[in-house]
Chains A and B, each alone.
Chain A
Amino acid sequence: MILLPCPYCGPRNVSEFRYVGEVSERPDPNETGVEEWRTFLYTRNNPVGWTTETWFHSAGCRQHLIAERHTMTNEVRASRLPEAQLPEGQEERATGGNVAGDGGGAIY
C-alpha cells in the first residue's frame, strides 16, 4: 500500500493526492528578471534522495501539504502544512515521519 501522511487526515493512499512538485522559492515578480523567473518556472533539482515537495489532498481534505520523500525508496519521513496555510498565530503543525511503525509509510 502506498501511504502519504496528511497533517489533517493521517496516512492515506497516495492515489487520493495530486502531486504538485518540488518546493522552490518563488522570486518576487516585481524584483525578478526574465531569466531568474524562467529558471523558477522550469528548472528542477530532480535529486536521488530526500526531497521536499508539495502535494494536494484532492480526494480528502483538499488542503495542500508539504512532504519529505525519498525519491529512490519513496519513503516519506515527514509532512506538514505549508506556512501560508497556518491559521494566524499557530505554530507549524507537523505529522510524525515514521508512519511505517503503524503499518505503512514507505510508498512504493
Chain B
Amino acid sequence: MRAPGAIKSALGAVMSSVGPYDRNGSTNGHKPYRYSAFDLLRHGFSQADWPRAWRRHDPKSSYDVVVVGGGVHGLATAYYLAKNHGITNVAVLDKGYIGSGGSGRNTAIIRSNYLTPEGIRFYDRSVKLYETLSADLNYNAMFAQRGHLTLAHNDSSLRTMRWRAEVNKLEGVDSEVIGPDEIKKLVPFMDTSEDVRYPILGALYHPPGGIIRHDAVVWGYARGADALGVHIHQNTEVTGIDVTGGKVSGVRTKRGDIATPVVVNCTAGWSTLISDMVGVKMPVSTFPLQAAVTEPVRPFLNPVIVSGTLHVYVSQTDRGELVFGASVDPFTSYSMRGSLEFTEGLAGHVLELMPSLAKMRLLRQWSGLCDMTPDFSPIMGVTPVAGFFVDVGWGTYGFKAGPVSGETMAALIATGKMPDLIAPFSLDRFASGSLMGEKGAAAVGH
C-alpha cells in the first residue's frame, strides 16, 4: 500500500510532535486536543506543528498523591486516579524522561496465558483494557493481536503447557496446545522437523496475545493524565521521603520538597532504592534484560514466538523489524550496557529455530532493568508505612500489566479498599509464605 505524500508527511508530523522529550512538555496551556482522521489530513496539507501532547509545570508545594516513576505503571495510576476517581491533584515524578525505564525498552508482548488463576485473571483484565485503549485515550497504540506461540521442545514443557491451557480455559482465556503441523501452518518457515537438536513437540497457542507500540502507550497515558489535570514532572529525581509519625508526609526532589500524604512507588528496577527511603524491605533484585532488533524486512512473521528451552523469543513489528529477546542477564546489576554473550547466544538460538534468518543483520541491542521477585509475580498494595504504596516487582513481564495495575492501584488509593484482582500480590505474602508460583509461565515468555 502506498500512502499519498500528504498523508505520509502528516504521519511524519504526528510522529515528530509526540516524539522526543525536548519537543514535549512545553508550558503552553493548549486545550487538550482530539486527534482525528480529518485533522491528520488537514495537518498534512498545512504542515503546521501539532500542539504539545502534555504540558510542563513548576512543581507545586503539595499534591494529594505523588507517583514516583513515569513509566506505564506510574502514568496509568495517575490517569485512572483522575479519570475513575476524580483525584486530579496528582504529580508523576521521573528522574529522567517518561518512558526512560523499562516502559520504553521492552519488547511489547501482551498476553494473559499465565499459570496461576490469580495471574491469569489479573493479566486478562489488562488485555481487555489494552483492546480499547487507543479509543479510550484517543491515541493510537497499535495493539496487534497476532497470536502468541510458546514452543515446547521436551515433554516437561509440554506438560506445563497442557496445565496452563486448562487453567487458562477455566478462566475464560483463549489458549490451547497445538502440534507441529498446526505450528507449521501459522509459521511456515519454522523448522518443525524431527531431526534437529531441539525438535518442536508442540506449542501453547494464545490467539489474543500480541504486540503493541510501547512508546505510544506511555505517551497516550501521559497525554490523557495531563488533560485531566495531572502534573508530569520530568528530570525530577526523588532523593528522599519524609515520614512523620509512621505516615508519609512528603517527598524530597532535586527540584525541591513536595508535601503529600500519599507516595506510590512505581520505579520497577530502581524500586528497592525508593522503598529503602522509608525503611520498607522488599524481596526484589535488579537484573538487566537485553533485547535486539534487526533491519526491517517484508512482513513474514505474524504471531509472537517464544521458546523457553532456547531462551529466545521473536516478533515482527509493523515496520518489519524482527525484535528478539531472551532471559535476564545472569547476575544482578544497575548497569544498562549490552554484552556480546547476549548477542552470541541469541543468534545461535534464533538460527536453531529459523535457519532462514542467517543473513539478517542486527541493527541495535539495548538493555533495561528488571525488578525480579522470587515468585515471578508483582508486589502491589500497602506497606507498613501509612501512605506509602508499592506497585513493583514487574520483572520481565510488567508492560502488559500497565493498564490493570493503574486501574487497581488507583482504586486502592482512592477507596482504601483492596481490589480482589491484586489482593494475592501483597508484600506480606512473603512473610506468610503464600508465594505465587508463576515461574512456569513468566521466565522467558515475558
| Interface pair B282/A43, CB less than 8 Å apart | yes
Q: Say yes or no for A35: interface residue by CB 8 A criterion.
A: yes
Q: Say yes or no for A95: interface residue by CB 8 A criterion.
A: no
* Total residue contacts A-B, CB cutoff 8 A: 55
Alpha-carbon distance A35/B433, docked complex (angstroms): 9
| Interface pair B334/A42, CB less than 8 Å apart | no
Q: Say yes or no for B169: interface residue by CB 8 A criterion.
A: no
- Distance in Å from the Cβ of A77 to the closest Cβ of chain B? 15
Question: Which of B282, B332, B337, B339 contacts A71 (CB under 8 A)?
Answer: B332
**B residues bordering A, Cβ < 8 Å?**
272-273, 281-286, 330-335, 337, 339, 341, 374, 430-431, 433
Interface of B is mostly: loop
What are 7 A-to-B residue pairs whose CB atoms are below 8 Å?
A: A2-B339, A2-B341, A18-B330, A39-B281, A42-B283, A46-B284, A108-B335
| Interface pair B334/A72, CB less than 8 Å apart | yes
CB closest chain-B residue, reference A20: B331
Question: Which of A41, A42, A46 contacts B286 (CB under 8 A)?
Answer: A46
User: Contacts of B337 on A, CB cut-off 8 Å?
Assistant: 74, 108
- Given A43-B283, A46-B284, CB of A19 within 8 Å of CB of B339: no
CB closest chain-A residue, reference B433: A38
Residues 36-75 of A, flagged 1 when their CB comes within 8 A of B and 0 if not, give 0011011111101000000000000000000000011110
Q: Say yes or no for A34: interface residue by CB 8 A criterion.
A: yes
| Interface pair B335/A72, CB less than 8 Å apart | yes
- Given A15-B341, A34-B433, CB of A44 within 8 Å of CB of B333: no
| Interface pair A42/B374, CB less than 8 Å apart | yes
User: Contacts of B339 on A, CB cut-off 8 Å?
Assistant: 2, 108
- Distance in Å from the Cβ of A55 to the closest Cβ of chain B? 8
**A residues bordering B, Cβ < 8 Å?**
2, 14-15, 18-19, 21, 34-35, 38-39, 41-46, 48, 71-74, 108
User: Contacts of A21 on B, CB cut-off 8 Å?
Assistant: 285, 332
| Interface pair A74/B283, CB less than 8 Å apart | no
| Interface pair A43/B430, CB less than 8 Å apart | yes
Q: Given A46-B284, A48-B334, list of 19 further CB < 8 A pairs?
A: A2-B339, A18-B330, A19-B330, A19-B331, A34-B433, A38-B430, A38-B431, A39-B431, A42-B430, A43-B281, A44-B283, A46-B285, A46-B286, A46-B332, A48-B273, A71-B332, A73-B335, A74-B333, A108-B339
Alpha-carbon distance A46/B267, docked complex (angstroms): 14
| Interface pair A44/B431, CB less than 8 Å apart | no
- Distance in Å from the Cβ of A39 to the closest Cβ of chain B? 7
**The 6 nearest A-B residue pairs measured at CB:** A42-B283, A19-B331, A46-B272, A42-B430, A72-B334, A108-B337
User: Contacts of A74 on B, CB cut-off 8 Å?
Assistant: 333, 335, 337
Alpha-carbon distance A22/B430, docked complex (angstroms): 18
- Distance in Å from the Cβ of B366 to the closest Cβ of chain A? 14
Alpha-carbon distance A72/B337, docked complex (angstroms): 10
CB closest chain-B residue, reference A46: B272
| Interface pair A19/B332, CB less than 8 Å apart | yes
CB closest chain-A residue, reference B272: A46
CB closest chain-A residue, reference B283: A42
- Distance in Å from the Cβ of A71 to the closest Cβ of chain B? 5
User: Contacts of A34 on B, CB cut-off 8 Å?
Assistant: 431, 433
User: Contacts of A108 on B, CB cut-off 8 Å?
Assistant: 335, 337, 339
| Interface pair B273/A44, CB less than 8 Å apart | no
User: Contacts of B272 on A, CB cut-off 8 Å?
Assistant: 44-46
- Distance in Å from the Cβ of A17 to the closest Cβ of chain B? 8
Alpha-carbon distance A34/B341, docked complex (angstroms): 40
CB closest chain-B residue, reference A72: B334
- Distance in Å from the Cβ of A72 to the closest Cβ of chain B? 5
User: Contacts of A71 on B, CB cut-off 8 Å?
Assistant: 286, 332-335
Question: Which of B285, B331, B335, B341 contacts A44 (CB under 8 A)?
Answer: B285
- Distance in Å from the Cβ of A74 to the closest Cβ of chain B? 5
User: Contacts of B330 on A, CB cut-off 8 Å?
Assistant: 14-15, 18-19
Alpha-carbon distance A48/B431, docked complex (angstroms): 25
- Given A15-B341, A19-B330, A72-B334, CB of A44 within 8 Å of CB of B430: no
User: Contacts of A2 on B, CB cut-off 8 Å?
Assistant: 339, 341
User: Contacts of A44 on B, CB cut-off 8 Å?
Assistant: 272, 283-285
- Distance in Å from the Cβ of A18 to the closest Cβ of chain B? 7
- Distance in Å from the Cβ of B368 to the closest Cβ of chain A? 15
Question: Which of A14, A18, A35, A73 contacts B431 (CB under 8 A)?
Answer: A35
- Distance in Å from the Cβ of A63 to the closest Cβ of chain B? 17
User: Contacts of A46 on B, CB cut-off 8 Å?
Assistant: 272, 284-286, 332
Alpha-carbon distance A19/B282, docked complex (angstroms): 20
CB closest chain-B residue, reference A13: B341
